[in-house]
């Protein structure tokens, strides 16, 4: 009892640390999201105000038309709270109908503040120390108020406009994925009880680190998504403004477009991380993330995502993240240090005690780490980025986007659909392994019959496919399946049928692949079976015969059980090889017809080296690896194939 109470301090500390980390991530994520949505709201408010300011500046149409336009703007967006256009001391438009046409009432708080804003903006314009806009945030009420001048020239204010705009509510941060972290937490403490008891501290610390890493990854991913959503919202809003303008004041459209191009407010826009607006013709590279927004009845305006500003924002958020991570990392590191110090001491002692073993393993280990483990981790990390095809390009972090894209593509008509290919791959593996084992076993049993004539000759000839290089085999079979000149079609013609073009139909192409791989793969299974059969003592069969067991019963009760230890590892290995059998698919059917006979590994290769979509290909490969790993662990548990090997 006392021991338990003494030990309870560490898990509680760990739990507290984990909860703090989680809470920190939640707060950070919410802050990021709020920030991004504020940015969108500011841009929307500004884009509503701007045409009105232009109308005042141009002086065309007169006060009635400006009022009408303002009314239309206010009706167009329910989030607009108040809207005022003030010139001198009288309102051209006021969202409160009682104030329309009236002068500024110094006793009214709202009027007073607007008037003061106008004064301040005029002062700012003169001193030009700051950009002439004023923003008031009221987080409690969920609104912002934006005041801007209508300018004459560069310095002279003609009037002040103000808009009150409702902020969007920010939903609970980190969505459902936060539960993954809680799951990690749960697992950390779950494992402490069972057979991992002696590893509970390092495990918990590791989970803490994993939670840190996963949280920051999710945070970054969310931030990327927020950014993309913000960009899309801004672009959509531009079209909205354009529609109102086209309806109410079409003559203002070109002025608006010219203004967007980077007139007086371009600095402000870029500071607000809005899109940078360029007339369609002038955009240099519309392919680089640019987009066109066509305004109804007006010019097409190309909108180019302001990547520089976005990158700055990204850097800023990463900086913030780094600070938080550094603090938590330091805490976790300290914890880990104290826990691991003991283990390190023990490890050093072990290293010294077993130094001879480690020296012998060392060279192989270095090679494996440098050329297997590091590339693997590199490939692993690639799956979370958008990797440009050129090596000099910058990686863009996209979180789990690659995986989501692969796994949520359910479109049944695209043969590149992951699930379709997975199905083909499973079918391919099952059929092949079944054929390899059944043919190999049959031949082995026949050749193992005592006194079977020409045994050795057959054996040598039947191993031939294994001895041949597989790429040559694959290419030979591709030639054999050739429509006009292949031996298979010659045979079919001989039988009196029409020649088949094997690679125009899924099933025939699939058949061609399977035939090739069966030819390639059965000798391995045959050799394994032969070896195992030969090691079964013959007196077992004799004893069974004396006991009156039939041939089938002998096979079932003696041969099969004694074959198992050799056959199961071979089957597991064969399954993994077939699952990743690149050569046959790539060289025989090459995915024809229409990429439908592709298996996962060849599809991943295509994404990597034909489409140069490396992040996507890496994500694809990781899915393959996970499938195989699950299979390996599962079969290992069932067959205990590797049991005894570790003794």
Partner 1 sequence: MEKKNKRSFRERVIGALLQFFILLFTIGTVYPVLWVFKIAFGSQKGLSLSLSLFPAQPTLENFNHILFEKPFFIWLLNSLIVAAATSVIGIFLAATAGYAFSRFRFPGRTAGLLSFLITQMFPGTLMMIPLYLIVNWLGLLDNLAGLVLVYSTSAIPFSIWMLKGYFDTIPKELEESALIDGASRTLIFYKIILPLAKPALAVTALFSFMTAWNEYILAATFMNRELSYTLPVALRNFVGQFAQDWGLFAAGAILVSIPIVALFFILQKYLVSGLTAGSVKG
458 near partner 1 (CB under 8 A): yes
State the nearest-atom distance from the C-beta of 634 to partner 1, in Å.
13
State the nearest-atom distance from the C-beta of 570 to partner 1, in Å.
8
565 near partner 1 (CB under 8 A): yes
477 near partner 1 (CB under 8 A): yes
**Which one of the spans 186-194, 196-204, 235-243, 454-462 is the region binding partner 1 (CB under 8 A)?**
454-462
Report the Cα–Cα distance between both ends of the chain, in Å, rounded.
37
Rule CB under 8 A: which of 584-603 touch partner 1? Answer: 586-587, 600-601
Nearby residues of 634 by Cβ (< 8 Å), 6 or more positions away: none
Rounded to the nearest 10°, the torsion over CA 384, 385, 386, 392 is: -150
Q: Is there a contact between 295 and 242 (Cβ–Cβ < 8 Å)?
A: yes
Taking the least distance from each CB to partner 1, the nearer of 266 and 381 is 381
**Which one of the spans 57-65, 129-137, 277-285, 531-539 is the region binding partner 1 (CB under 8 A)?**
531-539
238 near partner 1 (CB under 8 A): no
637 near partner 1 (CB under 8 A): no
Cα-Cα-Cα-Cα dihedral sign, residues 150, 85, 248, 238: positive
624 near partner 1 (CB under 8 A): yes
In whole angstroms, what is the distance from residue 406 CA to residue 426 CA? 18
Interface residue with partner 1, options 178, 210, 463, 500 (CB under 8 A): 463
Q: What is the largest CA-CA distance in the chain?
A: 120
Rule CB under 8 A: which of 46-105 touch partner 1? Answer: none
Classify the phi-psi angles of 388: left when phi > 0, otherwise alpha if psi is within -120 to 50, otherwise beta. Answer: beta
Taking the least distance from each CB to partner 1, the nearer of 179 and 452 is 452
40 near partner 1 (CB under 8 A): no
What residue spans of 354-454 are helical by DSSP H? Answer: 355-368, 374-382, 401-407, 418-447
254 near partner 1 (CB under 8 A): no
Structure-block tokens of residue 96: 């409160």
Rule CB under 8 A: which of 484-523 touch partner 1? Answer: 484-487, 489-491, 493-494, 519
Taking the least distance from each CB to partner 1, the nearer of 218 and 424 is 424
Rule CB under 8 A: which of 4-23 touch partner 1? Answer: none
311 near partner 1 (CB under 8 A): no
Among 260, 644, 57, residue whose Cα is nearest residue 69: 57
Interface residue with partner 1, options 135, 206, 558, 628 (CB under 8 A): 628
Query: Which residue in this structure is represented by tokens 């870029």?
Result: 270
Taking the least distance from each CB to partner 1, the nearer of 293 and 462 is 462
State the nearest-atom distance from the C-beta of 425 to partner 1, in Å.
12
Taking the least distance from each CB to partner 1, the nearer of 213 and 360 is 360
Burial 41-54 (b: 16+ CB within 10 A, else e): bbbbbbbbbbbbbb
**Which one of the spans 5-13, 200-208, 318-326, 450-458 is the region binding partner 1 (CB under 8 A)?**
450-458
3-state secondary structure 171-209: CCCCHHHHHHHHHHHHHHHHHCCCCCHHHHHHHHHHHHH
Interface residue with partner 1, options 446, 560, 561, 634 (CB under 8 A): 446
Strands of the sheet containing 300-304, edge to edge, are 276-279, 300-304, 290-294
Q: What is the DSSP string of 300-365?
A: EEEEE--HHHHHHHHHHHHHHHHHHHHHHHHHHHHHHHHHHHHHHHHHHHHHHHTHHHHHHHHHHH
Among 215, 43, 23, residue whose Cα is nearest residue 144: 43
Interface residue with partner 1, options 467, 539, 547, 637 (CB under 8 A): 467
Rule CB under 8 A: which of 133-172 touch partner 1? Answer: none
Angle at 224 between CA 222 and CA 228, to 5 degrees: 115
Binding flags for partner 1, 374-413, as an x/- string (CB under 8 A): xxx-xxx-x--------x----------------------
**Within 10 Å of residue 303's Cβ, how many Cβ atoms?**
24
Taking the least distance from each CB to partner 1, the nearer of 68 and 573 is 573
Nearby residues of 576 by Cβ (< 8 Å), 6 or more positions away: 628, 631, 632
In whole angstroms, what is the distance from residue 599 CA to residue 577 CA? 13
Q: Is there a contact between 421 and 600 (Cβ–Cβ < 8 Å)?
A: yes
Interface residue with partner 1, options 461, 556, 594, 634 (CB under 8 A): 461
Interface residue with partner 1, options 8, 330, 372, 430 (CB under 8 A): 372
List residues bridging with 90 in a β-sheet: 87, 103
Peptide bond into 92 cis (omega under 30): no
Residue 103 has what DSSP assignment?
B
Taking the least distance from each CB to partner 1, the nearer of 246 and 533 is 533
Rounded to the nearest 10°, the torsion over CA 119, 123, 124, 125 is: 100
Interface residue with partner 1, options 117, 222, 583, 613 (CB under 8 A): 583
534 near partner 1 (CB under 8 A): yes
551 near partner 1 (CB under 8 A): no
Query: Which residue in this structure is represented by tokens 């969920």?
Result: 142
**Which one of the spans 73-81, 410-418, 537-545, 617-625 is the region binding partner 1 (CB under 8 A)?**
617-625
438 near partner 1 (CB under 8 A): no
433 near partner 1 (CB under 8 A): no
In whole angstroms, what is the distance from residue 274 CA to residue 54 CA? 19
Interface residue with partner 1, options 179, 434, 471, 497 (CB under 8 A): 471
Taking the least distance from each CB to partner 1, the nearer of 176 and 451 is 451
Interface residue with partner 1, options 27, 360, 404, 427 (CB under 8 A): 360
> What 3-state DSSP class applies to 112?
helix
Interface residue with partner 1, options 217, 476, 549, 558 (CB under 8 A): 476
Interface residue with partner 1, options 479, 537, 550, 561 (CB under 8 A): 479
358 near partner 1 (CB under 8 A): yes
Taking the least distance from each CB to partner 1, the nearer of 413 and 494 is 494
Go through the chain and tell me how many residues it has. Answer: 647
Taking the least distance from each CB to partner 1, the nearer of 133 and 620 is 620
State the nearest-atom distance from the C-beta of 250 to partner 1, in Å.
53
**Which one of the spans 59-67, 302-310, 399-407, 453-461 is the region binding partner 1 (CB under 8 A)?**
453-461
**Which one of the spans 133-141, 217-225, 407-415, 638-646 is the region binding partner 1 (CB under 8 A)?**
638-646
638 near partner 1 (CB under 8 A): no
């Amino acid at each position: 009892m006392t021991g338990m109470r003494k030990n309870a301090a560490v898990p509680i500390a760990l739990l507290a640390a984990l909860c703090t980390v989680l809470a920190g991530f939640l707060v950070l994520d919410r802050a990021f999201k709020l920030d991004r949505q504020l940015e969108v709201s500011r841009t929307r408010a500004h884009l509503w105000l701007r045409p009105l300011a232009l109308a005042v500046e141009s002086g065309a149409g007169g006060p009635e038309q400006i009022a009408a336009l303002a009314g239309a703007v206010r009706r167009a967006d329910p989030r607009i709270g108040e809207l005022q256009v003030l010139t001198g001391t009288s309102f051209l438009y006021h969202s409160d109908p009682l104030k329309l046409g009236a002068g500024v009432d110094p006793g009214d708080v709202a009027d007073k503040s607007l008037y003061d804003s106008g004064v301040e903006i005029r002062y700012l314009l003169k001193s030009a120390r700051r950009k002439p806009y004023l923003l008031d945030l009221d987080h409690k009420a969920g609104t912002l108020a934006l005041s801007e001048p209508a300018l004459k020239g560069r310095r002279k204010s003609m009037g002040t406009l103000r808009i009150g705009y409702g902020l969007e509510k920010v939903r609970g941060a980190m969505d459902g994925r936060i539960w993954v972290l809680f799951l990690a937490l749960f697992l950390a403490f779950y494992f402490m009880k069972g057979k991992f008891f002696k590893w509970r501290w390092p495990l918990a610390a590791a989970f803490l680190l994993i939670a840190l890493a996963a949280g920051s990854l999710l945070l970054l991913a969310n931030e990327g998504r927020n950014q993309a959503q913000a960009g899309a919202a801004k672009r959509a809003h531009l079209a909205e403004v354009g529609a109102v303008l086209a309806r109410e004041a079409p003559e203002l459209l070109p002025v608006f477009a010219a203004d967007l191009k980077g007139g007086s407010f371009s600095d402000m826009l870029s500071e607000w991380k809005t899109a940078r607006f360029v007339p369609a013709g002038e955009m240099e590279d519309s392919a680089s993330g640019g987009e066109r927004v066509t305004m109804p009845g007006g010019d097409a305006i190309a909108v180019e995502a302001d990547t520089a500003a976005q990158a700055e924002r990204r850097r800023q958020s990463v900086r913030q993240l780094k600070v938080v991570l550094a603090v938590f990392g330091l805490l976790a590191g300290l914890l880990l240090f104290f826990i691991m110090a003991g283990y390190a001491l023990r490890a050093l002692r072990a290293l010294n005690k077993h130094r001879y073993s480690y020296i012998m393993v060392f060279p192989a280990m270095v090679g494996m780490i440098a050329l297997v483990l590091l590339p693997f981790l590199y490939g692993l990390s690639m799956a979370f980025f958008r990797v440009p095809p050129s090596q000099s390009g910058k990686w863009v972090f996209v979180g789990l986007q690659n995986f989501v894209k692969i796994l949520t593509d359910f479109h049944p008509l695209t043969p590149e659909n992951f699930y379709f290919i997975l199905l083909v791959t499973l079918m391919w593996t099952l059929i092949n392994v079944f054929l390899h084992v059944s043919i190999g076993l049959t031949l082995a049993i026949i050749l193992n019959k005592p006194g079977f004539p020409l045994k050795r000759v057959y054996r040598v000839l039947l191993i031939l496919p294994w001895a041949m290089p597989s790429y040559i085999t694959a290419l030979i079979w591709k030639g054999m399946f050739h429509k006009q000149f292949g031996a298979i079609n010659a045979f079919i013609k001989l039988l009196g049928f029409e020649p088949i073009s094997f690679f125009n139909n899924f099933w025939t192409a699939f058949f061609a692949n399977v035939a090739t791989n069966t030819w390639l793969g059965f000798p391995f299974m045959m050799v394994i079976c032969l070896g195992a059969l030969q090691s079964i003592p013959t007196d077992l069969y004799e004893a069974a015969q004396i006991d009156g067991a039939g041939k089938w019963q002998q096979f079932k009760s003696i041969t099969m059980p004694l074959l198992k230890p050799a056959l199961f590892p071979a089957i597991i290995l064969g399954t993994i090889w077939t699952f990743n059998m690149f050569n046959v698919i790539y060289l025989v059917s090459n995915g024809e017809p229409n990429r439908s006979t592709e298996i996962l590994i060849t599809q991943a290769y295509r994404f990597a080296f034909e489409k140069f979509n490396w992040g996507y290909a890496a994500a694809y490969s990781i899915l393959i690896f996970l499938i195989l790993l699950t299979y390996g662990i599962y079969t290992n548990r069932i067959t205990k194939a590797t049991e005894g090997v570790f003794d």
